[in-house]
A = this chain, B = another copy of it.
Amino acid sequence: MINENYKAMLGKKSVIRQLSEFATERGKEIGYDNVFDFSLGNPSVAAPEEFNNAMKALMDEKTAMELHGYSPTLGNPEFKKAVADSLNRRFGMTYKPSDIFPTSGAAGAIAHALRAVTVPGDEVMVFAPFFPEYIPYVTGTGAKITVVPADTKAFQINFEKFDKLLNPNVKAVLINTPNNPTGVVYSEETIKKLAAKLEEKSAEYGFNIYLISDEPYREIIFDGVDNPYPAKYYKYTLTCYSFSKSLSLPGERIGYVACNPADPDSETIVAMCGQISRGTGHNCPASIIQQACAQVIDMTSDLSVYEKNMNLLYDELVKLGFEVVKPGGTFYIFPKALEDDAVAFSQKALKYDLVLVPADSFDCPGYFRMAYCIETEKVERSLANLRKFVETEYPNR
């Protein structure tokens, strides 16, 4: 008998998906080159050549068994070591390979982290605006999601609202920095304040509230921006990572959960992740991908294009009078719409072949997201359309 709950999910097409389909259709009419599609957060730069070279070398040097045989339940030892060493080197941490659990991207990482530190019925807090997939990620575990309203001034954390909503049912807090959809990086002040609040409430409630830190955009940081590593500031942090953005490998489904070695339970949590996998059918990322990633652990694609695109858009948006916080990283920017209804605003933009995502689905109505992981040349060409859109539709601003 078919599970009606999953069937019911099929009806709901995401706004992003609908807009992306519009862009494809419109592209058939006027050429996709002339559609300024800012809808999808898909890396637009190629994976570094070294990744393919590492894959080929592995196939030449390792036996089929070493390469394609089962990985240990808790992951390939070389990959775990490469991740731990890299984090230690870069962030002054003391991870051991046994603190690292390889996963199929950040989605897999969050799925494991959530299950490790909550039980069905618990509450998980997220901060608006947030990646809409957090809803199925959290509710899929049986936990409930509580949204802390946005700090629309700086898109850091609205601590006043956070404080009011915290309660003893909250077992985990899920953050995303650098942030999708705002492009903002949490400052050291924010992270310190968050850590202090979690420590205070953990003491008050008599258990440790876990911080699940989703960091797929960690490597896309713009000039002069400081990107503090959250686990350094709070002991009970599970760091979730994906190589989708930094190495442009979203299809290869590789990431990890890094459990803070300062937490006495860190290795237990890694072992628990192995048990969690048995029930969800995840069973670790592909063996050859783990082994190849280990060899290019500190490399990235050429990420400089994202900063170039951001600056072009940011300058134009400011010139046009948009209220917008300058992104510190990622490939997103998050301006305030020129009318209260961002859905109506984005609909009007379509007439100018501008595909903008209203932020209602990110739980932040009145704003919109632009994903500028597209060719710089196209960003440049889009500026005239943006200008024409604003001047025509909002002449009296």
Chain A residues packing against B (C-beta within 8 Å):
1-3, 5-7, 9-10, 42-43, 46-47, 51-52, 55-56, 59, 63-65, 67-71, 103-105, 107-112, 115-119, 122, 133, 136-137, 139-141, 171, 207-210, 248-254, 265, 268-269, 271-272, 275-276, 278-289
Contact partners of A108 in chain B: CB under 8 A:
281-283
Contact partners of A275 in chain B: CB under 8 A:
6, 9-10, 136
A67 (CB) vs chain B CBs: closest residue? B251
Known contacts A10-B272, A68-B251, A271-B10; decide if A281 and B103 are in contact (CB<8 Å): yes
Contact partners of A69 in chain B: CB under 8 A:
42-43, 248, 250-251
A71 (CB) vs chain B CBs: closest residue? B251
Most buried by B among A103, A107, A248, A254: A107
**Smallest beta-carbon distance A143→chain B, Å:** 10
* Complex Cα–Cα for A67 and B3 (A): 34
Which residue of the partner chain, among B63, B119, B136, B280, contacts A140 with CB atoms under 8 Å?
B280
A133 (CB) vs chain B CBs: closest residue? B278
A66 (CB) vs chain B CBs: closest residue? B251
**Smallest beta-carbon distance A50→chain B, Å:** 12
Q: Verify A268–B2 contact, CB threshold 8 A.
A: yes
Known contacts A140-B280, A272-B2, A280-B111; decide if A70 and B251 are in contact (CB<8 Å): yes
Which residue of the partner chain, among B68, B136, B207, contacts A1 with CB atoms under 8 Å?
B207
* Complex Cα–Cα for A69 and B43 (A): 8
A139 (CB) vs chain B CBs: closest residue? B279
Q: Verify B70–A268 contact, CB threshold 8 A.
A: no
**Smallest beta-carbon distance A137→chain B, Å:** 7
Most buried by B among A63, A110, A210, A252: A252
**Smallest beta-carbon distance A46→chain B, Å:** 4
Q: Verify A283–B6 contact, CB threshold 8 A.
A: no
Contact partners of A137 in chain B: CB under 8 A:
278-279, 281
Q: Verify A208–B282 contact, CB threshold 8 A.
A: no
Contact partners of A115 in chain B: CB under 8 A:
3, 6
* Complex Cα–Cα for A149 and B240 (A): 43
Q: Verify A251–B287 contact, CB threshold 8 A.
A: yes
- 7 A-B residue pairings within 8 Å (CB atoms): A3-B119, A9-B272, A46-B65, A67-B251, A68-B251, A69-B250, A140-B279
Contact partners of A171 in chain B: CB under 8 A:
1
A138 (CB) vs chain B CBs: closest residue? B279
Contact partners of A10 in chain B: CB under 8 A:
268, 271-272, 275
Which residue of the partner chain, among B104, B141, B272, contacts A104 with CB atoms under 8 Å?
B104
Contact partners of A3 in chain B: CB under 8 A:
115-119, 272
Known contacts A2-B116, A116-B2; decide if A286 and B107 are in contact (CB<8 Å): no
Contact partners of A111 in chain B: CB under 8 A:
279-282
A279 (CB) vs chain B CBs: closest residue? B140
Which residue of the partner chain, among B1, B9, B110, contacts A117 with CB atoms under 8 Å?
B1
Q: Verify A46–B63 contact, CB threshold 8 A.
A: yes
Q: Verify B104–A281 contact, CB threshold 8 A.
A: yes
Contact partners of A210 in chain B: CB under 8 A:
1
Contact partners of A64 in chain B: CB under 8 A:
46-47, 52, 248
Q: Verify B110–A208 contact, CB threshold 8 A.
A: no
**Smallest beta-carbon distance A286→chain B, Å:** 4
